[in-house]
Structures are given as C-alpha cells and as structure tokens.
Amino acid sequence: MLFTGQHFAILGAARSGLGAARLAARNGAKVTLIDEGNLAKFAHAMETAQAEGLNILLGDDAKALTVNPGDFQLAILSPGFDVNWALPKKFSDAGTKLTGEMEFASTLTKMEMTAITGTNGKSTTTELLAAVFNGCGLRSIPCGNHGLAISELLVDHGEVFDMLANEVSSFQLETIETFHPHISMWLNFAPDHLDRYPDEAAYFAAKRRIFMNQTVSDWAIVNALDVELLGSLKPLVLTFSAQPEHEDATFAYRDGQFFHQGHVFGDASRITLRGRHNMENVLAAIAAGWIKGLTFEKMLAAVAAYEPPAHRCQLVREWHGIEFINDSKATNLHALESCVRSLERPIVLIAGGKEKGLDYHPLRAAIPGKVQAMVLIGEIAGTLADTFGDLVPCQKAKGMAEAVTLAAAAAKAGDAVVLSPGTSSFDMYSGYAERGNKFRDAALALR
C-alpha cells in the first residue's frame, strides 16, 4: 500500500480521472475526485465513487473548494486539464504537487510500452501496433489517449500484457517527469491545438518531450520528414517514410511494396488500409515489431487481418475496378488535404457539408493530377464549386445517394470515389458517422 496516509485529489471525473482515482485508492491513498462540470455528465462517476468508497466533489461544490497547504499530497490531472486553469492552480498555489494521469500510472507498472505521438494517425497506429503484437503471439492492448486509460487498465486487468500500445497526446506529455517508454514513435507534425498553446513552437516542444527520459538503450521510430527537425536524440533512431523523397528511410514504402534497408519484405496487396499516410502508420508499427524480433511475414499477416477504424480512409468496396473509400472523419481542411495527397489512384472526390467559414483555396495546389472530378454536397457546395470549378468538373448533389451515383458515373476502372468532406456534417446528418454510413450504404447499393 504505497500511499497509505496520503490524500490525493483527482482533477477530472471522466474516464482517465476515474481510473486514476481507483488506482490510487487500491494503493492505499485517500482519494477525492473533483470536477466542476455539469452533474448530469457524471452519473457513472458518482456510482463508482459510492461503490468504491471514494470522495467526490462535482459542479458547484467543486468550484467552491478551498485548498490549503497540506490538505493534499498530490493532485492528479486528467489529460485535458491545463495546469494554468483555475482548478489546478488552487492546488499548485497551495504547494500541492501536480502530475498527469499517465505519468502517475506509468510509475505503478513494470509492463513495457511503446508510446505513440503525432498530429495525425495516432489512433490508427496504436490499434495497428496492438494488432501486430497480438497477431505474433504477444499480448498487447491499445491504451492511453486511445482505448483504456493506463490507470483503468492497471485496475481492471493488472500486469498481464507484454507490450502496451500507448497513444500519447501533447497534453499528457506536458506533465511528465519520469515517463520512460522503451520505444517511442513520432508519426508526423503539423500545427494544431493553437487554442491551447501560444504558438506552433510550444506545441512542438510539448510533443518532443516523448523522448525526454529515453536513453541509448531505447528506440525512437521517427518519420524521416522530421528527423532534422527533431535534432539530436539519445535513443537509437529508426526512420520510416512512404514519400518518394525519403526512399532511403530504414523502413520505406513505394509502388505497393514495403522495404527494410532497401530490401523488399512484402507488399500491400492484402491490406485494406488506403493512402500513403496509412502505409506510414503500417511501417511505424512494423518497425516496433522488428525491434522485438517479430518476423515480417507474421506482422504483415496481422496487418492484413486488421480492420481499420470506420470513416478513416476505409475501403468500402470495389465495383467495376473503382474503389469506394469512406473518409467521413475528415472534418477539416488538413484532413481532406492529407487524404487527397496520400491516395495513389485518381480521385473522384465527394466533399462538402456545413459552412464553417473555412478558406478552401489552399487545397487548390493539391487538386491537379490527383482529383479528376468533384461532387459537392451540403451548405458549402456552391462555395466549393466556385473555388475549384476552373480546375476540375464539379457537380452538386442534394444527398449522399445522388452524390455516390454521380461520382460512380464520373469514375472509371482504376479510380477511387472518395468521401472526404473537409468540414462537419451537421447541416445534413447527426455526425460524421451517420454521413459515412450513408456513403457506405449508397456504395454497396450500386448495381
């Protein structure tokens, strides 16, 4: 009972916070779970607190909390909490040490982990990595910022896994001190979360902390595009890339084949993931498996058996030589551009949706040579037609069934009909999932 006689505050009563509270209590601490949010959101937290004997303060009671020096020995933050917010500052101003849920949980496990960060592709790579290890006979599970919080995993499962596939956000990395993955992954970097960080440099610095405690006995798997940007690293570095300008990366992809140090070790013919960005996710996962001595044959078989998350460059069907790809999760311009640039087939693009005041002109540079035609839907259909009509033929559709029919008619064998809207769906659907499902149903209905 490591924490007997100590009183811990857990800030945030959602999944990560609840897991941290349960883990701390199992190790002897007195726990108070605190969240200023609406009471209606936390029925499960209140039930769990009552069942496991945890103190809980919610809503106005949490806002009214006064923290004095010595009241708490530790305050554990859920991933979304900024240390500069009013609630955490009550604790830091009283001299209470602040730490993050991931940092706290990682000190209480001896299980080896691979930590995955990047602006895009983290969840897919985390799932791929777990699939690769499980497919090769090692026990693994997606966790961290995707799947189970590590605290939750330790309480409910214990020390039963050979490798944790741990997705790590910049928010989680802000508060680490000892967090030390044996293998780290840096998938990519693009400006994001500038509502949280003062500038791009601060966001980059937070993500780079993933390497902070690694030594020369550890490994870093890094996108070849960012090697120079990251500078000198202590761990051994493996690079990966699916881009033509980085064919000399340790792990590379080109023309449908995978390479290790210039030698072919397999191809992508059985893999249902689409796009160069997803091939890079595959390479990163395979690089981690290679470090642990797994064979390329077994790893590729595991990747082929993996079912990608719905609505993320998901192959729905092939019909008369045309692939139908559902990328409904692309709810912003950056995601749309990534999809267009990464696919290797000529594209008939279905785009559009809610008007969010975005400027789509930056996408014009990605259209020539990639997009053959566009079918436009939703509130911004007219705006997109005006923006791209001089580059490619554009048609408007009133609904998804009509859009898929028009796109299929505009495509030929060897093309891909791609739903990658570039905006949200709330003008027509309840969310990106319903939009993607409508696309899937329309594609499967083609005769």
370 lies in the same domain as 437: yes
154 lies in the same domain as 18: no
Residue with tokens 């005041």: 357
Going by C-beta distance under 8 Å and a sequence separation of 6 or more, which residues neighbour residue 377? 350, 351, 352, 353, 396, 397, 398, 399, 400, 403, 421, 428
What average pLDDT score do residues 248-273 get? 95
pLDDT at 286: 98
Q: What domain range is 12 assigned to? A: 7-101
Look at residue 1 and tell me if it is in a domain.
no
List, in sequence order, every residue forming a beta bridge with 140; answer none if it has no partner: 163
286 lies in the same domain as 354: no
The neighbour count for residue 110, using CB atoms within 10 Å, is 5
Residue 192 sits in a domain whose CATH number is 3.40.1190.10
295 lies in the same domain as 170: yes
Residue with tokens 């881009």: 243
Residue 420 sits in a domain whose CATH number is 3.90.190.20
- Rounded to the nearest integer, the mean pLDDT of the chain is 94
Look at residue 119 and tell me if it is in a domain.
yes
Domain count, the chain: 3
373 lies in the same domain as 297: no
Look at residue 254 and tell me if it is in a domain.
yes
Residue 42 sits in a domain whose CATH number is 3.40.50.720
Q: Between the CA atoms of 75, 81, 84 and 87, what dihedral angle is there, to the nearest 10 degrees?
A: -60
State percent of the chain over pLDDT 70: 99
159 lies in the same domain as 291: yes
336 lies in the same domain as 404: yes
At which of 34, 66, 101 does a domain end?
Answer: 101
Short-list 283, 284, 276, CA closest to 255: 276
What average pLDDT score do residues 185-190 get? 91
At which of 80, 101, 122 does a domain end?
Answer: 101
Look at residue 363 and tell me if it is in a domain.
yes
126 lies in the same domain as 270: yes
User: Which of 2-16, 86-100, 324-338 has the lowest average pLDDT?
Assistant: 324-338
- pTM for this one? 0.82
Distance between CA atoms of 262 and 416, rounded to whole angstroms?
Answer: 29
96 lies in the same domain as 235: no
At which of 81, 101, 121 does a domain end?
Answer: 101
294 lies in the same domain as 164: yes
Look at residue 131 and tell me if it is in a domain.
yes
Look at residue 2 and tell me if it is in a domain.
no
What average pLDDT score do residues 322-346 get? 90
pLDDT at 192: 62
433 lies in the same domain as 318: yes
pLDDT at 191: 67
Under the banding of pLDDT at 50, 70 and 90, the label for residue 121 is confident
What average pLDDT score do residues 6-28 get? 95
Look at residue 144 and tell me if it is in a domain.
yes
324 lies in the same domain as 377: yes
